Structure 1
C-alpha cells in the first residue's frame, strides 16, 4: 500500500508532486484504484489526491461548448440541469453507474483513464465526441476521448505524470439530441452486458449528423461510423433506424463471456439497443424543436 497520501490544491502542484515522487499516481474517486491496490494489482508508493482543486469539479457552457471538469462525479453529471438538457446521454449514463456511494465519489476522468471498454460515462463521452484536455510536464494536449484507449485497462493518459483537467463537448445546435441505453442483469449495482450511446441532429426532416457508440463489443468503446452513415441525409424512419442498428450489430465483435453472455446474444441485442437509443434521440430532437420553435 502507498506510504504517503498528498493533497494538491492546484494542477501545477499536483504535477509537481507526481514529478517529485517516482511511482506516484493521481487519485480522485479511487473506486477502481483502491481495490487494485488492496488486491496488489498495482504498486504505488504515493497517492496525489486532486479533489481539492476547484476547477476540476466545475460544469459550465461557454462559446458553444459544454465544459466538464475531470473530477466531476457521476452524481454531479447525472443531476446537473445543464447536462440533463444539453447532453442527456451523459446524464443517463452517469445515473447508471454502480451504486449511490460509487456515483458520489467516482469521476468522469477516472472512468476514462481506467480504460474499461464498458465504462458507462466513457461510452457516452465517446458518442458525444468529447475531447480530453490533458496537462503534463510538456504542457497541454487535446485528444478525443475515443483515441485514449491502448487496450483493455490500458490508457494513453499516464496518471503517474499527467492529468486530465477537463472535457469539452461541442454543441451541435438546433435539432440535436442524444440518448443512452443499457442492458444489465438488474437495474442497479451490476455491470452492463451492453451499453449504447448515440448523438444525432435532424433538420428539415432528415438526419444531418450522427454518432453511435457501443460497448463492450471491442477492446474499447466502439464508434460505429458505418452505422452512422446509414442515417445521414435520410429521414430517420423505422426502416432507416433498423438498417443503422443492423450495421452497428455487424460491426460489433463481442466475445463469449460467462459474465456477460454469448457473443451471438450480445450481437443481436446490440441491434435492439441501438434501435432503442436512436428512436429516443430522434424523438427528443423532434419534440425539442417543436417545443422551442412552435413548429
Structure 2
C-alpha cells in the first residue's frame, strides 16, 4: 500500500485537510496501534494525517475547577502531571498502567479514546470522572460526554472529518478517594482482562460514588445501579457489600455466557471490592 503523508502544524490546517480528504484520510496520533496495522497491511487509506506538530492539541491546564487535557497529550505526561495527581489521581494511575514506557511516551489520551477498545485503560478513569470530549471539524465544534462517544468495539461517533480536540472534567473535591486497578495476565505490556475505576466521597454518609468498568463489555461503562446502592448510606463494610453485589449483578449481565464469563465474574467482583475499599479508605 502507498499513501500520501501530511503533518499539519496548526489545527485549522488539519481540519481543512480532513474536510477535503474525508474518508480517504486516516488520522495518526501516537501511532502505537496504527503504525502496526499499516505495516501488516490491515488498513487502506490514500492519506495519513499526523497530529504531532499541532500545539492546540497538547497540554494540561486548569480553569476554575475544570481540568482540560489536549487530545495529543501523552500517557507519560498525564502520569507525571502534578495537576492530575493532585486532582484526579485515578487518571494518573490509569495512564501509568498503559503498556511499556515507550508506548506511554508515544501513545496519547485521544488515541486511546478513539481506538474504542473494550480494554482501554484511561477510558474507565475518564468515564468515572464524568469527562467530556470536545470534537471539532472545519467550521463546527461540539461537545459530548465521553461515555456517549462509543458505538461498540472499535467504533465511535466521530465523523471522518472530525477529531477530538480536548478532554475536560471537574477536579475531584477535597477528601474524595479514587483508584484505578486492573487485572491482566502479567504485570507489564498486558491488555486488561478487567479494570475498575472508582471514586468515593463521604462524610458520615457516602455523598458521591462512581464506578466504571473496562473489558467486560464492548466499551467501558458506568455501573450506575451499584453507585446508587451506596449513595446516602454509611461507609461500613456491610454497605460496601451491598454496593459490590449490585456491581456484580450488572457486570454479570454484560458478560452473558461467553467463555471467559465465569472467570471475569469472580475476578471482577473481587476487583470491584478492592477498588471501592481503597477509594473509601477502608483498605
With structure 1 as the length reference, what TM-score do the two structures score? 0.90
The question of whether the paired residues in 2 share the 8 Å contact of 1:128 and 1:198 is answered with no
- Asked if residue 223 in structure 1 is aligned to residue 222 in structure 2, the reply is yes
Determine the C-alpha separation between the residues in 1 that align with 2:88 and 2:98.
16
Q: 2:178 matched to which residue of 1?
A: 178
Query: Equivalent residue of 2:182, what SS?
Result: strand
Q: 1:156 matched to which residue of 2?
A: 157
Determine the C-alpha separation between the residues in 2 that align with 1:122 and 1:226.
19
Q: 1:165 matched to which residue of 2?
A: 165
Determine the C-alpha separation between the residues in 2 that align with 1:56 and 1:206.
40
Q: Which blocks of at least 5 consecutive residues in structure 2 are unaligned?
A: none
Query: Equivalent residue of 1:283, what SS?
Result: coil
Q: How does 1:70-85 map to 2 (within 5 A)?
A: 70-85=71-86
Shift of the 14–2 alpha-carbon distance from structure 1 to 2, 3 Å rule, reads: farther
What per-residue deviation string (whole Å, max 9, x for no partner) do you get for residues 31-90 of structure 1? Answer: 111222223332211111111111322111112111111011111111111111111111
- Asked if residue 38 in structure 1 is aligned to residue 36 in structure 2, the reply is no
Q: 2:268 matched to which residue of 1?
A: 270
Query: Equivalent residue of 1:167, what SS?
Result: strand
- Asked if residue 205 in structure 1 is aligned to residue 204 in structure 2, the reply is yes
Provide the aligned C-alpha RMSD in A: 1.8
Q: Which blocks of at least 5 consecutive residues in structure 1 are unaligned?
A: 287-295
CA drift at 1:29: 0.3
Q: 1:293 matched to which residue of 2?
A: none
CA drift at 1:214: 0.9
Query: Equivalent residue of 1:161, what SS?
Result: coil
Determine the C-alpha separation between the residues in 2 that align with 1:264 and 1:240.
25
Q: 2:145 matched to which residue of 1?
A: 144
Query: Equivalent residue of 2:281, what SS?
Result: helix
Q: 1:21 matched to which residue of 2?
A: 21
- Asked if residue 112 in structure 1 is aligned to residue 100 in structure 2, the reply is no
The question of whether the paired residues in 2 share the 8 Å contact of 1:77 and 1:94 is answered with yes
What per-residue deviation string (whole Å, max 9, x for no partner) do you get for residues 134-177 of structure 1? Answer: 0013511111110111111111123x311101000112423323
User: Across the two proteins, how many residue pairs are aligned to each other?
Assistant: 280
The question of whether the paired residues in 2 share the 8 Å contact of 1:2 and 1:47 is answered with no
CA drift at 1:190: 0.8
The question of whether the paired residues in 1 share the 8 Å contact of 2:32 and 2:106 is answered with yes
The question of whether the paired residues in 1 share the 8 Å contact of 2:5 and 2:47 is answered with yes
What per-residue deviation string (whole Å, max 9, x for no partner) do you get for residues 85-117 of structure 1? Answer: 111111111111111111111111111110011
The question of whether the paired residues in 1 share the 8 Å contact of 2:95 and 2:121 is answered with yes
Determine the C-alpha separation between the residues in 2 that align with 1:222 and 1:65.
22
Query: Equivalent residue of 1:151, what SS?
Result: coil
Determine the C-alpha separation between the residues in 2 that align with 1:27 and 1:72.
13
